[in-house]
Amino acid sequence: MSIPGASGPRSEVADRYLEAIYYIEHEGEVPRPGRIAEWLAVSAPTVTVTLQRLARAGWVTVAADRSVHLSDTGRVAAAAVVRRHRLIERWLTDVLGLDWATADREAAALSHGVSEAVLERLDEHLGRPSTCPHGNVIPGRRAPAGRPMQRLVDLPTGVGSRVFRISEVAEHDAPQLLAVLHDGGVVPEARILLTERADGQLRLVVEGHPVVLSSGVAAAVWVESAPA
């Protein structure tokens, strides 16, 4: 795929880098070579060489402090990659019935080979969803209505809320948490009540059922903020 303002079509490797930078940025982190290397499970020298190539092609810029930023064309390209991944995840979960973790892994493998025509038909078939299965907004769509978000780990005790989304970065860094959250029913739109916080654990009632999460897992869950 080629986008005006950048040099030539993108490779699958370029797509993976743009997607990683997009996710890291959207979770409030600063993308740097070391973090990108962790994300993609490649060596630091490999990241340095690839970022130089992406910068020459016009997809990214690398600042003096080593922070990495998407260019305007890079941001458009990254959003297209993320849209593709999230729509395929929706199809794999909603239609084929795959669990979250498997769908995420398979979407990463499939997304680069799906044509734009097939993706558009898939989007139409799914009813043009606004989010991926974990509640993260598909680029170009509007986020679900509701109060602002906060992390579940910061929700006051005794306050009811509802789940908005699961952090994409935390999901990547600890894929096993997807199974924990899915099995506990901690999914987008689920109604929750935080009843107790003690010893690094949160005791919840999720759609009427008791669930216990560690503070680390709860930090990956974004919920509707408590009323002021």
Q: Which amino acid is at 79?
A: A
> Which among 60, 85, 90 is positioned nearest to 73, based on CA atoms?
60
Average pLDDT, the chain: 88
Whole-model pTM? Answer: 0.83
Position of tokens 């598909």?
A: 138
Q: Which amino acid is at 103?
A: A
Beta bridge partners of 193: 160, 205
- 10-residue mean pLDDT profile of the chain (228 residues): values are 51 91 89 92 93 95 95 95 94 92 87 90 95 91 77 91 84 72 89 92 94 89 80
Q: What is the pLDDT of residue 112?
A: 82
Q: What is the pLDDT of residue 163?
A: 93
E strand or H helix at 47? helix 44-57
> Which among 3, 19, 14 is positioned nearest to 79, based on CA atoms?
19
Which stretches of 130-190 are assigned E, i.e. beta strand? 149-151, 160-166
- Exposure class string for 40-70: b at 16+ Cβ within 10 A, else e: beeeeeebeebbebbeebbbbebeeeeebeb
Per-residue pLDDT tens over the stretch 39-71: 888 999 999 999 999 999 999 999 999 999 999
Count helices and strands in the chain by DSSP H and E runs: 9, 8
| C-alpha–C-alpha distance, residues 11 and 21, integer Å | 16
Provide the phi-psi class of 208: left if phi over 0, else alpha when psi is between -120 and 50, else beta.
left
Angle (CA) 209-210-211 rounded to 5° is 115
Please name each of the domains of the chain with its CATH number. 12-76 (1.10.10.10), 149-224 (2.30.30.90)
CB neighbours of 57 closer than 8 A, spacing ≥ 6? 6, 7, 8, 14
| C-alpha–C-alpha distance, residues 126 and 132, integer Å | 11
Helices (H), 137-209: 168-173, 176-183
Q: What is the pLDDT of residue 4?
A: 43
Beta bridge partners of 205: 193, 210
Q: What is the pLDDT of residue 227?
A: 66
Q: What is the pLDDT of residue 8?
A: 52
| C-alpha–C-alpha distance, residues 97 and 161, integer Å | 27
137 DSSP assignment: B
